[in-house]
Amino acid sequence: MTMTTTTIGDTHMHNGAMTKPATPNPEVLERSSGRRQFSAKYKAKILAEYDGLPRKERGAMLRREGLYSSLVVTWRRQRDEGAQEALGRAAGRQKTDPRDREIASLKREVGRLEGELNKSRRVIEIQGKLSAHLASLASDSTAENGELK
């Protein structure tokens, strides 16, 4: 019994030969510059669209927009708390007042200077005690030698 093939392609397919893999794209995609930020207008539009859809279509809308359901929950809470004001508020900690930073810096500086002042006072106190002790030793040694002060 003999087997004949009609094309070379059939032979390669059946004998386990690998096809040449496609060359990968060498271009490196640009990374994200951080977390996405959404405007109040966009949040309101998405909430209105999400609430207007039937339950089965909501997941498709979130996938299309690249959003998570937790964002919708957070945006609803913001909308209920303060409407446009809450929706427009930036996420994260509020920016500190420059005066508060300066006050904190000055307080640290005062603390450092107070520490140096206390150290200087201790050094002066020790120097005074040492000077008094050396003076008493000098007077004792002159008294022992019979010398007058």
Contact 69, 46 (CB under 8 A): no
d(CA 95, CA 84): 20
- Is there a contact between 53 and 63 (Cβ–Cβ < 8 Å)? no
CA distances, 117 to each of 57, 109, 121, 126 (Å): 71, 12, 6, 14
| Stated pTM of the model | 0.37
Question: What is the DSSP secondary-structure string of 96-116?
Answer: PPHHHHHHHHHHHHHHHHHHH
Residue range 45-67, pLDDT digits in tens: 999 999 999 999 999 999 999 99
User: Across the chain, what does the average pLDDT equal?
Assistant: 81
The more confident residue out of 8 and 100 is 100
Predicted pLDDT at 4: 56
Residue 7 has pLDDT above 70, yes or no: no
Residue 126 has pLDDT above 90, yes or no: yes
